[in-house]
Amino acid sequence: QLQLQESGPGLVRPSETLSLTCSVSGGSISNGGYYWGWVRQPPGKGLEWVGSIYFTGSTYYKWSLGSRLTISVDTSKNQFSLKLTSVTAADTAVYYCARPRPQCSSTSCPFEYWGQGTLVTVSS
């Protein structure tokens, strides 16, 4: 059974960098041809797709996050990571990592497997 687990600091200061890692177990990031994704959800609000990455390192980002966002992959550790620079209170959210459903290898897919989510608060 595929499992995803987010990890990283729960508190980040404004203007600093938010860094999270998604560890995948029960399956290999390198198999299946998926774009693994990050989705976030501000407290009490809706879902927002952040970006996705292929095991080769090809990335696909939400345009409004622009140059602040970097997603990377480490296939040797079966992990992928998110870095968001110059954070503000608007970046406070539960961050989920997720994998698309089978037979969907495009950059945009519905997500079948999700991590439990990790709350990141941006505050001084």
Partner 1 sequence: DIQMTQSPSTLSASIGDRVTITCRASQSINSWLAWYQQKPGKAPKLLIYKASNLESGVPSRFSGSESGTEFTLTISSLQPDDFATYYCQQYNHDSTFGQGTKVEIK
List of residues 6+ apart from 72 with CB closer than 8 A: 53, 57, 80, 81, 83
**Given candidates 10, 43, 46, 66, which one binds partner 1 under the rule CB under 8 A?**
46
C-beta of 56 vs 116, nearer to partner 1: 116
- Positions in 93-122 near partner 1 (CB under 8 A): 96, 98, 101, 106, 108-112, 114-117
Q: How far apart are CA 35 and CA 100, in angstroms?
A: 7
> Is 19 or 114 the residue whose CB approaches partner 1 more closely?
114
Two tokens at 40? Answer: 């976030």
Which positions lie near partner 1, rule CB under 8 A? 37, 46-49, 60, 62-64, 96, 98, 101, 106, 108-112, 114-117
